[in-house]
A and B are shown apart, each in its own frame.
Chain A
Amino acid sequence: MARVKFLWMLFVFVAVSVVLKAQIQPIPNLKIQPVPIAGGDLVPGYGIANLFVPGPPGQVPPYDPLGAEPNGLTNFKGQVVMGYTSGPATDNKGKQYVVITDIRVYKGTYRGGKAADSVNTAGATVSDTDSGIFVEI
């Protein structure tokens, strides 16, 4: 009985581990590739980062104006969540930091590109629609 219980627990552990490992779906492997917004913020030393930084009214600059696009994906329809935060952090040597975040969630339908004919072309794209949840970290 103890052996059966151990094997069951081992199965559950392995199953959960597989789920966790499979949590992130690499975007390059998606059949329909999402497309970034064309614009974004021009960052000195980096170029155009295809993302805006919406901010509260009356604080432009340094933020982009209220009403600036919060999404990093174009051809998108759905829910958007975002917010800037700060807080305390500690590393493995006890050193303390301040962590700041800008983590956004996009859930909805997107129109991206897929290979029209991956056999007889070099991969020329055609538009197609899919849905999913994306997170900007």
Chain B
Amino acid sequence: MWDFSLKPPAQVHDFSPWTLPNGLFWIVKVPDSAVQFHDDGSVTLHLVDVPVVDAYTFPPPAQTVPGISPIQLNPAKLSLDITYEKGGNPHRVRPTSHDPLSPFNWAGMMWDSTNSGTFSLSYDDGSFSASGSFASNGNFGEIGFERNGVFLRDGDFDQSTDQSASSSTGSSLTNHAVVTSPSSAGERTVLLKGRVPVKVVR
């Protein structure tokens, strides 16, 4: 959550399930009843009282000894409802790298996606609560099917030597060549996860 009354605007709350000791990043497991996949390709998510923490910013405020000193985390509960919609043409993604640390070591078929929803949250001690709504507002989203890790097959790998993302539209397997213009100069953005600009409609 960002405070735009500050000059410049700054992040003042950052709610997540936090990182597990094995590195799983901000992930929780939910029952099947929490998510509905519909025939029209839309997906609805309904979560109630998910245990989260407020780290205030991400990355969290600098530690006295990086990686050692405690990070201040305030426990809270988060509820939300989201509907994701599928749109556009599918693009096939082929792995172009065998490097396990690469972002291009997976295969799938993806479509563009938009989503919108509502949320409410409250600190466990009751000292802070908030609610609101959100929508894609032109920001990136995708939906589809994927496999990675041990589920990749040798035949999945792109035969080209290009190590960038190999992504194509429809049934064609040519490299993705679509380029869109960056955000216009007058558009307001904030930095998701400390670095990724997300368009803001206020």
Q: Which residues of A contact B (CB under 8 A)?
A: 20-28, 30, 33-41, 43-59, 62-92, 95-103, 105-107, 109, 111, 127, 132-137
Contacts and interface: CB of A to CB of B under 8 A. Distances in A.
Given A83-B141, A135-B45, 6 more contacts: A50-B19, A55-B196, A79-B145, A109-B151, A111-B151, A137-B52
B29 interface: yes
Contact of B132 (A26, A87, A92, A103): A87
B197 interface: yes
A97 B132 contact: yes
A23 to B, nearest CB: 6
Interface in B84-115: 84, 93, 99-106, 108, 110, 113-115
Contact of A23 (B30, B58, B128, B134): B30
A68 B180 CA distance: 17
B139 A84 contact: yes
Given A62-B195, A88-B132, A90-B131, A135 B137 contact: no
A23 B43 contact: no
Contact of B37 (A79, A86, A90): A79
A38 B26 contact: no
B47 A65 contact: no
B173 interface: no
Interface string B144-162: 1111111100000000000
A99 to B, nearest CB: 5
A20 B28 contact: no
A71 B115 CA distance: 18
A45 B59 contact: yes
B133 interface: yes
B51 A24 contact: yes
5 contacts: A43-B193, A81-B115, A96-B5, A97-B1, A137-B15
Contacts of A87: 132-135, 137, 201
A30 B24 CA distance: 14
A39 B16 CA distance: 20
Nearest to B182: A59
A51 B20 CA distance: 13
Contacts of A47: 67
A133 B141 contact: no
Contacts of B48: 20, 23
Contact of B80 (A22, A45, A54, A103): A103
A27 B198 contact: no
Interface string B60-93: 1010001100000000001010101000000001
A55 B51 CA distance: 28
A134 B59 contact: no
B49 A21 contact: yes
